[in-house]
Amino acid sequence: MSYEMNIRKVVPYTPGEQPAGKVIKLNTNECPYPPSPRVMEAIRATGEEELRKYPDPDCKALISAIASYYRLSEDQVFVGVGSDDVLSMCFLTYFAGDKPILFPDITYSFYDVWAEVYRIPYKRIPLKEDFSVDAEDYRVENGGIVLANPNAPTGIFTGLEDIERILSASPDSVVIVDEAYIDFGGESALTLLPRYENLVVTRTMSKSRALAGLRVGYAFGSPKLIKYLSDVRFSVNSYTMNSPALRAGVAAIEDHDYFCEIRDKVVATRDRAERELRELGFSFQKSSTNFIFAEHKECPAEEIFQKLKEKNIYVRYFRKPRIDNYLRISIGTEEEMDRLFEALREILSDR
């Protein structure tokens, strides 16, 4: 079977489970509330004619809505099929050099998968003992840098002074700041865009805008960097964004009041969940996201994970160095969280 040697072989990313049936799903950081009613209207308003024809390859309406919402110019905005697509295009575009790109040892587990599939050399920089980022560690030769901020799965936000230190220490590299969770806490690096032409910020509608199923992500950067990204996209697939997603994305970004309402509810539930989990004996750092990354002093994480699953409550467990005693618990509705606390009380008192 000599064709084997010509095949690109990869170890794929493992997404969180999407179990069928009625379960409490706190394992993939989805929003527990529905998207804006205007999103549903926009999808229903997509006519036959629009489905018959190809979508707008330039995604003009969506780019324009996003640009005006963030007060940027249209040539500073890129859109894609969720931020996974946006990030994948960024890796392909910006990391074409020979020097290793850098990202933390504990971070979004898709980064090393893209590096592998695109044959990009990379180096993992260990987070400090408390899972914080030390900006000084990034002051080394590199072909690019990727930081999720707030980080996943730790939930920790790195201050903009540190992001700035990293940007200014590597003026010859593109630095990607993945802000999938920024709406839940911390400060966006968007304000640094005018001063750092090597900065690219990525965002998603999956978490804070309740649209994980629609697949809409976007990126901000200088017109020059956005042009390079766009050229690569048009060299891979001109029609990444489908017509209903283009329409619904506009509706989602324009319904600012609804966005604030569901985000504030998630943040309030998170703050309450932090108090409840501490009382149950969990320890964790302050979360700036829509999940809590927690460890229990007496009970192994894997055991809690399994027992919760038996009770139809799904959280995320990573069997990986340094974090194999942690659970990543997404913030659900108040009722879902009550069911979780109840289940945890049972599991912990049964031991």
Ligand X SMILES: *Cc1c(COP(=O)(O)O)cnc(C)c1O
Of 210 and 343, the one with the shorter C-beta distance to ligand X is 210
Q: 175 — phi, psi (to 5°)?
A: -110, 120
**Shortest distance in whole angstroms from residue 297 CB to ligand X:** 27
Closest by Cα among 215, 293, 284 to 43: 215
The piece of 59-67, 78-86, 94-102, 301-309 that touches ligand X (CB under 6 A) is 78-86
**Contact pattern from residue 25 through residue 64 relative to ligand X, giving x for each residue in contact according to CB under 6 A and a dash for the rest:** ----x-----------------------------------
Does 180 bind ligand X (CB under 6 A)? Our answer is yes
Of 108 and 184, the one with the shorter C-beta distance to ligand X is 108
Of 179 and 255, the one with the shorter C-beta distance to ligand X is 179
The piece of 66-74, 76-84, 271-279, 318-326 that touches ligand X (CB under 6 A) is 76-84
Of 217 and 332, the one with the shorter C-beta distance to ligand X is 217
**Shortest distance in whole angstroms from residue 94 CB to ligand X:** 16
Does 255 bind ligand X (CB under 6 A)? Our answer is no
Of 245 and 277, the one with the shorter C-beta distance to ligand X is 245
Does 249 bind ligand X (CB under 6 A)? Our answer is no
**Shortest distance in whole angstroms from residue 346 CB to ligand X:** 30
Closest chain position to ligand X (CB): 82
**Contact pattern from residue 186 through residue 215 relative to ligand X, giving x for each residue in contact according to CB under 6 A and a dash for the rest:** ------------------x-x-----x---
Of 82 and 244, the one with the shorter C-beta distance to ligand X is 82
**Shortest distance in whole angstroms from residue 64 CB to ligand X:** 20
**Shortest distance in whole angstroms from residue 141 CB to ligand X:** 25
**Shortest distance in whole angstroms from residue 82 CB to ligand X:** 3
SS3 readout for the chain: CHHHHHCCCCCCCCCCCCCCCCCEECCCCCCCCCCCHHHHHHHHCCCHHHHHCCCCCCCHHHHHHHHHHCCCCHHHEEEECHHHHHHHHHHHHHCCCCCCEEEECCCCCCHHHHHHHCCCCEEEECCCCCCCCCHHHHCCCCCEEEEECCCCCCCCCCCHHHHHHHHHHCCCCCEEEECCCHHHCCCCHHHHCCCCCCEEEEEECCCCCCCCCCCCEEEECCHHHHHHHHHHHHHHCCCCCCHHHHHHHHHHHHCHHHHHHHHHHHHHHHHHHHHHHHHCCEECCCCCCCEEEEEECCCCHHHHHHHHHHCCEECEECCCCCCCCEEEEECCCHHHHHHHHHHHHHHHHCC
| Contacts (CB under 6 A) with ligand X, residues 89-148 | 108, 148
Total site size for ligand X, rule CB under 6 A: 13
Radius of gyration for the chain, computed over Cα atoms and rounded to the nearest angstrom: 21
Which residues contact ligand X by CB under 6 A?
29, 82-84, 108, 148, 152, 178, 180, 204, 206, 212, 217
